[in-house]
């Protein structure tokens, strides 16, 4: 990634070259390719190598939670019908409410991430659009169309897209910019200054 001065971008914390869309995670203390966010629930960064796994995890997690909700519904109805608050009935009530709540949360979060993938954006990029050499920014700089965007993360096989297998396209370092983006403005990491690299502490 090239900065406004034309030199390669180097992480000021860990000192490595930062490709486009890479960011340093203060929690993990390392740079992550196409960093989306740090997830406290999985205690891990969500980025290029596991973004698909994260979304698939949310999807199947929601399915599982709703399955529990549906199968516990008859017992939930029975609880309210008889109103006998015993320990076992309370556990069913708790199970129904928690599974429904987590199912909705995972469905909403998974849907939001699918929306971002469809726009080829990360959570971080929604807060700050990628900047170019001339100082301008474009929030849709990497948007190649919904179909292509989805294929970059989930792959071209629709069946395998539903399972936790690596089908993500690309290498997380080189990115294609959307049509209409001027090549001279791109923040690519191909134009480099070795002097800048050697002088970086």
Q: Which of 110, 142, 107, 147 is nearest to 126 (CA)?
A: 142
Q: Write the DSSP symbol of residue 21.
A: T
Catalytic residue of the set 11, 25, 28, 39? 39
37/193 Cα distance (integer angstroms): 30
Start-to-end CA span in the chain (Å): 18
Q: Which of 126, 154, 123, 150 is nearest to 140 (CA)?
A: 126
Q: Concatenate the DSSP letters of all residues of 33-99 into one string.
A: TT--EEETTTTEEE-TTTHHHHHHHHHHHHHHHHHHHHHHHHHHHHHHHH----HHHHHHHHHHHHH
Give Cα 170 to chain centroid, integer Å.
15
39 is catalytic: yes
Q: Write the DSSP symbol of residue 190.
A: S
Q: Which of 162, 138, 134, 136 is nearest to 150 (CA)?
A: 162
- Catalytic residue annotation: 39
């Amino acid at each position: 990634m090239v900065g406004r001065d034309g030199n390669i971008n180097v992480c000021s914390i860990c000192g490595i070259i930062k490709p486009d869309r890479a960011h340093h995670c203060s929690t993990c203390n390392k740079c992550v390719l196409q960093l989306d966010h740090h997830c406290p629930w999985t205690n891990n960064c969500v980025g290029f190598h596991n973004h698909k796994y994260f979304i698939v995890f949310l999807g199947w997690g929601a399915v599982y939670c709703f399955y529990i909700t549906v199968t516990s519904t008859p017992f939930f109805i029975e609880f309210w019908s008889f109103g006998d608050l015993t320990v076992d009935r309370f556990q069913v009530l708790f199970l129904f409410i928690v599974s429904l709540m987590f199912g909705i949360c995972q469905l909403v979060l998974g849907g939001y991430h699918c929306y971002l993938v469809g726009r080829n954006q990360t959570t971080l990029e929604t807060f700050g659009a990628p900047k170019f050499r001339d100082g301008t920014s474009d929030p849709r700089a990497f948007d190649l169309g919904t179909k292509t965007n989805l294929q970059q993360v989930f792959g071209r096989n629709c069946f395998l897209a539903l399972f936790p297998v690596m089908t993500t396209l690309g290498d997380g370092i080189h990115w294609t910019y959307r049509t209409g983006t001027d090549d001279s403005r791109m923040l690519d990491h191909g134009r480099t200054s070795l002097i800048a690299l050697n002088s970086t502490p």
